Structure 1
Amino acid sequence: MLPLVPRVPSRQLRVLAVGAHPDDVEIGAGGALLELVRAVPDLCVDVLVLTGTPTRADEARASADDFLAGAEHAVFVHDLPDGRLPAAWAEVKELLESRALTGPAPDLLIGPSRDEAHQDHRVVAEILPTVFRDVLTLCYEIPKWDGDLIRRTLYVPMTDEVADRKAELLMRHFPSQRGRHWFDRDVFLGLARLRGAECGSRYAEAFTCSKSVMTFTAGGPT
């Protein structure tokens, strides 16, 4: 397994994290975000969520304040119909294109995977690369009752501290989801432990990256 060292620009590193629902980004990439905040001194993260009631929007904003504490960040929650994004395809496309046209270009895009069984996640994943065509994109996974986990190709190792912090923040900031049988600490840490075993770490988050460009420097691949 060859570790890659991402090339961090000399200017501020900009990340755009996209979720169909509040909590998608944190479940799929909360550990990666915590590691980015720790590793990158000049970081700006925008979180864009396509659906959400006022209560859920408040949860997303409070969660981002903790996951991204110490980094410049903003959260944008829209109110498209939860569970029905395939029928709102044009609206999803318009919101993402509006962000691409008016917001700063991201250096890294984090979003859902096309392999998701959930229809909302899948629609967002299908549209993202048609809007952001030349941005490194990491596609996260979300455990749920559908049983749609697949083999992943890119891993972000997490220390015990980061994995515990991620699980603790998820349980603290999304009380509206605690009644779901899959939304608990054991599920989040269990998946992280499995992905960690796959990459030689205690814990990890796993992603897919459909396209990337590799260059070689004296310090190794970037």
Structure 2
Amino acid sequence: MTAPASPLRVMGIGAHPDDLELTCAGTLAKYRSLGNHVTMCHIAGGDRGATSGTRAEVARIRRAEAGSAAALIGADYINLGVSDGEVDASNEHQKLLVTEAIRTARPDVIITHSAGDYMEDHNQASALAFTASFLATLPLYESDSPPLDAVPALFYMDTMAGLGFQPTEFVDITEQLDTKREMMRLHSSQLVWLEQHDEMDVLGQISTIAAYRGLQSGVRFAEAFAPCSAHLRTRTTRLLP
């Protein structure tokens, strides 16, 4: 495949603050290092990802953490504020929210969750990204921003812990692994939450999975993806960095 002729506009759509950081932040950082525009979008506010505090307080903390992580690589940040556990691809309001976010970012490429991940918010976010990225091209599906000229290419990112995911494309993130870990470290509330709720050493997991995907693809550290091959999504150019 040939490389695209001009800088790309890239959008990551994750369910919760820190989902993109866990799964594709190395690739997003690499896109930025190559001069591409990146927008990071989380559909849910993260308001239930804590053991104490009010949901409004938790959401404020997590929005600030995610904004700091995006700023670290010079990415734009959007949070749509849906409550955790309530991401729903059949909800018309959420379809409109994601459509408007896509029209605001105007991506050539979208990266989102793979269907069949370990929690339903991830799966519904994947479906919303798929549906809304088509709706975003329809002039009579009205939102505040104008429609896109074409349906963006869509890539599915690795599942949590890589379970049930069969990648077909890889991105070498050897030079970006430290940045990815730092982006996750900025989610300090979640380092505590994931350890308490899931007994997860999340920074260790990031390194382990990157090393495993790197072993599969012949580099030291990598992230794994699968393209959406539906009509209007396929391209003849290499879009991953």
TM range (shorter): 0.7 to 0.9
Residues 7-46 of structure 1 correspond to what in structure 2 (within 5 A)? 7-9=4-6, 12-40=7-35, 43-46=36-39
1:164 corresponds to which residue?
Answer: 178
Residues 215 and 98 (structure 1 numbering): CA distance in 2 closer, same or farther, change over 3 Å?
Answer: closer
Change in CA separation of 1:76 and 1:100 when aligned onto 2, cut-off 3 Å: closer
- Aligned-residue offset at 1:142: 4.2
1:178 maps to 191
Gaps spanning 5+ residues in structure 1: where? 217-222
SS at match of 2:39: strand
- Aligned CA-pair RMSD: 2.3
- 1:187 is matched by which residue type in structure 2? Q
SS in 2 for 1:61: helix
SS of 1:85's equivalent in the other structure is coil
For the pair 1:197 / 2:215, whether they are aligned, the reply is yes
Whole-Å Cα distance in 2 between the matches of residues 183 and 6 of structure 1?
A: 37
Task: State the distance in 2 between where 1:169 and 1:75 align.
Answer: 13
What percentage of aligned pairs have identical amino acids? 25
1:208 counterpart SS class: strand
Q: Distance in 1 between matches of 2:80 and 2:105?
A: 19
1:6 corresponds to which residue? 3
Structure ranking higher in strand proportion: 1
d(CA) in 1 for partners of 2:101 and 2:156? 19
C-alpha distance 174-8 of structure 1, shift in aligned 2 (>3 A): farther
- Partners of 1:166 and 1:87 in 2: CA distance: 28
Q: Aligned letter for 2:28? A: L
Distance apart, 1:183 and its partner CA: 4.3
Q: Does 1:119 find its partner at 2:120?
A: yes
- Contact 1:192–1:204 (CA under 8 A) maintained in structure 2: yes
**Contact 2:158–2:167 (Cα < 8 Å) also in 1:** no
Q: TM-score with structure 1 length normalisation?
A: 0.81
TM-score by length of 2: 0.75
Matches within 5 A, 1:1-222: 4-9=1-6, 12-40=7-35, 43-52=36-45, 53-66=59-72, 68-69=73-74, 73-86=75-88, 89-101=91-103, 103=104, 105-133=106-134, 134-143=151-160, 148-159=163-174, 161-171=175-185, 173-179=186-192, 180=194, 181-211=199-229, 212-214=234-236
In structure 2, what residue type is equivalent to 1:127?
Answer: L
Number of positions where the alignment pairs a residue of Structure 1 with one of Structure 2: 201
Name the CA shift for 1:13/1:215 in 2 (closer, same or farther; >3 Å): closer
- Separation (CA, whole Å) in 2 of partners of 1:8 and 1:30: 23
Q: Could you tell me which runs of 5 or more consecutive residues in structure 2 were left unpaired when the two chains were aligned.
A: 46-58, 135-150
Aligned to 2:141: none
Q: Which amino acid aligns with 1:186?
A: G
Distance 1:177 1:155, change over 3 A: same
